[in-house]
Amino acid sequence: MLKQLLLLSYLLFLCGCKQQKTESPPLESAVENVAISHANGFTIEKQASGITILKILAPWPNAEASFTYALIPKEKQAFISLDKNQYDAIISVPIDNIVVTSTTHIPALEALGALDKLVGFSDTKYVSSKAARKRIDAGQIKELGINESLNTEAVLALKPDLVVGFAVSGSNSAYETLQRSQIPVIYNGDWVEETPLGKAEWIKFFAPFFNKESEADVIFAEIEKSYLDAKKLAETADTTPTVLSGAMYKDVWYLPGGKSWAANFLKDANSNYLWKETPDSGSLSLSWENVLLEAKTAEYWIGPAQFKSYTEMESSSAHYAQFDAFKNEKVYTFANTVGETGGNLYYELAPQRPDIVLKDLIHILHPGLLPEHEPFFFKPLN
């Protein structure tokens, strides 16, 4: 009898241990949020199960919609089942090939060592990256039309694992066609970010698709340090020069709003951008008389739109010659930094390398602080 009681007690103990184990929280409930320090448009969550949840919070300006994507490691795909209704797309990673639609996407792929995965691009003539142009010329990156009217037949023929798109609103018939054909379309909102480092941090958006998260962290950390060091150096300047920006198009002067990406560069370069107090994150539309009244005596003119020379500017409008910055030849442009097919390198690479942009501006506005810096984007007008 004693032996039977001891055996019964032992069995109850084992059952109790088993019951206690099953009540423990499941491993997949654990979530690790990837550190996003400057970007406001996306988040990344890592689940213990191996699933990565990518959320796009700001796909376009003033967007009310957000998008949630699930990335499942290929080796775990057979063991994980997700409710498709909870996600805008479910993607197996790492992906083997990709289509992107903005030149700002290319530097991130190149920096991550994933440019060989790029099989198609919309409007390849605007691509300036030398490595990407080599692949375009070799036929390894196909021309797919333009983003607003993407050649869906050409995209379908490539059978990409993923299309990274961008939109100014939620309506794009080409994207809808691709999604109906079981090709995931992921929205990238890097262009909506207002701060230089916020745009650059979108390299972390691309990383999970290629299992390159650690590489992206290292790359961004180096860019962030370089940018913040330059900003700190600019704060030591003895002067805060006044700055004018933009130019006219059909009698309307367009220039950066005070909360915009471009205005934040001028702020971090320790300059007095004359429209810094405006609340706009996009562009301002003013009359030339208004601009002249405010900025006739501005010391510098940074970014006169598409103009490349003083002659070109004056031929376009005699009003430009009334500004002191024009008279004193203190006008600096990014329009002269182009790729071999004429694409503007500033629009392509500057979002990924804001530290270079900031150093250019410091070199211009505070010549004594970075005398050895070789301007890359912003150079004197011809």
Residue 203: count other Cβ atoms within 10 Å of its Cβ: 24
pLDDT number for residue 138: 97
> Is pLDDT of 5 > 90?
no
Do the Cβ atoms of 42 and 202 come closer than 8 Å? yes
- Residue type (1 letter), 278: T
> Is pLDDT of 19 > 80?
no
Q: Which of 303, 356, 357, 354 is nearest to 330 (CA)?
A: 303
Confidence of residue 15 (pLDDT cuts 50, 70, 90): very low
Do the Cβ atoms of 103 and 343 come closer than 8 Å? yes
Encode pLDDT of 138-178 as tens digits: 999 999 998 778 999 999 999 999 999 998 887 788 999 99
pLDDT number for residue 168: 83
Lowest-confidence pick of 2-11, 76-85, 91-100: 2-11
Q: Count the helices and strands in the chain (H runs, E runs).
A: 14, 20
Do the Cβ atoms of 120 and 181 come closer than 8 Å? no
Q: What does pTM read for this prediction?
A: 0.90
> Is pLDDT of 12 > 50?
no
d(CA 133, CA 139): 10
Maximum Cα interatomic distance, the chain, rounded to a whole number of Å: 112
Q: Which of 168, 144, 139, 171 is nearest to 155 (CA)?
A: 144
Do the Cβ atoms of 292 and 321 come closer than 8 Å? no
> Is pLDDT of 123 > 80?
yes
Encode pLDDT of 353-369 as tens digits: 999 999 999 999 999 99
Encode pLDDT of 209-224 as tens digits: 999 999 999 999 999 9
pLDDT number for residue 204: 98
Q: Which of 367, 348, 346 is nearest to 269 (CA)?
A: 367
d(CA 367, CA 237): 10
Confidence of residue 30 (pLDDT cuts 50, 70, 90): low
Domains, the chain, with CATH or none: 27-212 (3.40.50.1980), 235-380 (3.40.50.1980)
> Is pLDDT of 317 > 50?
yes
Lowest-confidence pick of 4-18, 96-110, 116-130, 311-325: 4-18
Confidence of residue 14 (pLDDT cuts 50, 70, 90): very low
Query: Is 252 strand, coil or helix?
Result: strand
